[in-house]
Amino acid sequence: MPLPSSIAALTAALSKLPGIGPRSAERIALHLVQSESGAVSQLADAIVAARVKVHLCTTCGALTEISPCEICASPRRDASLVCVVERPVDILSVDKGGTFHGKFHVLGGKISPLDGVEPEDLRIAELEARLQAEPIQELIIALGTDVEGDATSYYLAKRLARAGLKITRIAHGLPAGTGLEFADELTLSRALEGRRELS
């Protein structure tokens, strides 16, 4: 017996979600068609509502329901410190650490000529405008550690350099709670390069 077509269609739509394979998608679809109608429409409504309400902060590019977003609007955030990240979700990762109290700027990608991503496709002009308008003293570049992340970091450091602005990049080295035997060569050589004096 083939699955009823509406279940097959739902399975196909669900399997496009990140981390959901065909089997999980089928399992979720079969669960949904047997769930209480109320709970099912609540889920559908939550999906649509989130997509409609959430947009990108016009200042920093974070996911937000209000603009400017909570972080941009907060007087308790250090306006002199801006952390530059690739994607809106990276803000959550940095913020979960709880040690960073500055503001953010989302680039929207990394320079990657092979994928057709040029500097003008990123929110760099918006960052330059913020450097003019806001009392920013330090930009912390927190991009990934792949080739594109490296290239974009150096590009930004060169393009945004101006008197009175410190441009830094987050450290590369051993992750917490691991041993040398688990680190690859590049990580180890970067950890050596980035060594700091014990005091």
Q: How far apart are CA 27 and CA 131, in angstroms?
A: 50
147 touches a second copy (CB under 8 A): no
Q: How far apart are CA 86 and CA 71, in angstroms?
A: 17
Helices 22-33 and 5-14, packing angle to 10 deg:
130
48 touches a second copy (CB under 8 A): yes
Q: Which range binds a second copy by CB under 8 A, 19-27, 78-86, 141-149, 184-192?
A: 19-27
47 touches a second copy (CB under 8 A): yes
Pairing relation of β-strands 78-85 and 102-106? parallel
Q: Which is nearer to a second copy, 19 or 116 (CB)?
A: 19
Tracing tokens 């409609």 back to the chain, one arrives at 52
92 touches a second copy (CB under 8 A): yes
User: CB of 34: closest distance to a second copy in angstroms?
Assistant: 7
Q: Which is nearer to a second copy, 89 or 188 (CB)?
A: 89
The answer to whether the beta carbons of residues 54 and 32 sit under 8 Å apart is no
Q: How far apart are CA 161 and CA 184, in angstroms?
A: 32
Q: Which of 22, 67, 70, 125 binds a second copy (CB under 8 A)?
A: 70
Q: Which is nearer to a second copy, 34 or 199 (CB)?
A: 34
134 touches a second copy (CB under 8 A): no
193 touches a second copy (CB under 8 A): no
Contacts of 139 (CB under 8 A, 6+ apart): 82, 83, 84, 105, 127, 131, 156, 160, 165, 166, 167, 168
84 touches a second copy (CB under 8 A): no
Q: Where do contacts with a second copy occur on this chain (CB under 8 A)?
A: 1-7, 9-10, 13-14, 16-20, 24, 27-35, 37, 39-54, 62-65, 69-71, 88-89, 91-92, 95
